[in-house]
């Protein structure tokens, strides 16, 4: 049975990292949903009124990136990138219902949120430091742009295909969630000053919305230094 695994070395360097997990066994992922679009746009309007780039939850990811020698100004953590987009007055394209809900939860709680199509992943879903033999093609691209040794990556440990570079900077194309995706693993991450209670609240709200809006069959979990591996029964 496959697992989600977080290397012990991650917790050596980032002892208070926690990852909320949602395991989706089945789902209906529509290309449009007004019931999702309305609260997302409302949250975007709310965030446009405040400059949250310096918020402690956002700065915590800047600090984490610096620790593994990634420049957060050049390679923005995902929540920072979303807030920058909002600050410029832009919204988000409605890719599909699940991705829209990721964006909603991210900007509401100011934390990274993402997921992967498990049917495209052959091995375990592994978070760890790159060795330099992994390979990566960014979302929407066809060009290889492989991770550097020491970079935090999320990868398929059988094929060495990378789902996400620089922890939460850029998603890989091969495991993207589409309207045809039925099985997925979703991550809601916190680090530094972000309390576990916030991660659990965000995870549980997202799970509730996926059930209500996408008829999802799912389960939830929480990963931390005392729970580094979980089985995914898909």
**Model pLDDT, residue 107:** 95
Asked if 107 contacts 86 with a C-beta cutoff of 8 angstroms, the reply is yes
196 band by pLDDT with thresholds 50, 70 and 90: very high
Number of CB atoms found within 10 A of residue 19's CB: 23
Asked if 62 contacts 28 with a C-beta cutoff of 8 angstroms, the reply is no
Percent of the chain at pLDDT above 70? 100
Q: Who contacts 186 (Cβ-Cβ below 8 Å, separation ≥6)?
A: 21, 22, 23, 24, 102, 113, 114, 115, 206
- For the cut 90, the answer to whether the pLDDT of residue 55 exceeds it is yes
Element (H, E) at 104: helix 97-109
Closest CA to 184 of 194, 195, 171, 197: 171
Mind listing the pLDDT tens digit for each residue in 128-166?
999 999 999 999 999 999 999 999 999 999 999 999 999
Mind listing the pLDDT tens digit for each residue in 163-185?
999 999 999 999 999 999 999 99
Domains and CATH numbers, the chain: 3-231 (3.50.40.10)
Residues belonging to the chain: 234
Burial class (CB in 10 A: 0-12, 13-18, 19+), 71: exposed
Element (H, E) at 164: strand 162-165
Closest CA to 53 of 84, 90, 78, 77: 84
Mind listing the pLDDT tens digit for each residue in 106-130?
999 999 999 999 999 999 999 999 9
50 band by pLDDT with thresholds 50, 70 and 90: confident
* Residues 216, 230: Cα–Cα separation, whole Å: 20
Q: Is the pTM of this model over 0.85?
A: yes
């Amino acid at each position: 049975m496959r697992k989600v695994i977080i290397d012990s070395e991650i917790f050596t360097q980032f002892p208070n990292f926690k990852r909320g997990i949602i395991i989706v066994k089945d789902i209906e992922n529509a290309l449009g949903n007004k019931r999702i679009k309305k609260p997302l746009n409302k949250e975007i309007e709310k965030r446009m009124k405040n400059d949250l780039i310096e918020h402690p939850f956002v700065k915590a990811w800047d600090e984490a990136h610096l620790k593994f020698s990634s420049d957060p100004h050049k390679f923005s953590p995902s929540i920072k990138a979303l807030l920058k987009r909002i600050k410029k007055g832009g919204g988000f394209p409605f890719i599909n219902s699940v991705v829209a809900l990721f964006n909603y939860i991210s900007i509401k709680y100011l934390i990274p949120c993402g997921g992967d199509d498990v049917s495209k992943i052959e091995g375990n879903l592994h978070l760890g430091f790159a060795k330099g033999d992994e390979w990566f093609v960014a979302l929407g691209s066809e060009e290889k742009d492989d991770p550097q040794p020491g970079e935090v990556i999320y990868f398929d440990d059988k094929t060495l295909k990378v789902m996400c570079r620089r922890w939460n900077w850029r998603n890989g194309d091969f495991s993207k969630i589409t309207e045809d995706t039925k099985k997925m693993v979703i991550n809601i991450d916190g680090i530094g000053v972000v309390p576990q209670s916030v991660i659990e609240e965000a995870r549980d709200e997202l799970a509730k919305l996926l059930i209500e809006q996408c008829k999802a069959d799912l389960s939830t979990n929480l990963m931390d230094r005392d729970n580094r591996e979980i089985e995914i029964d898909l």
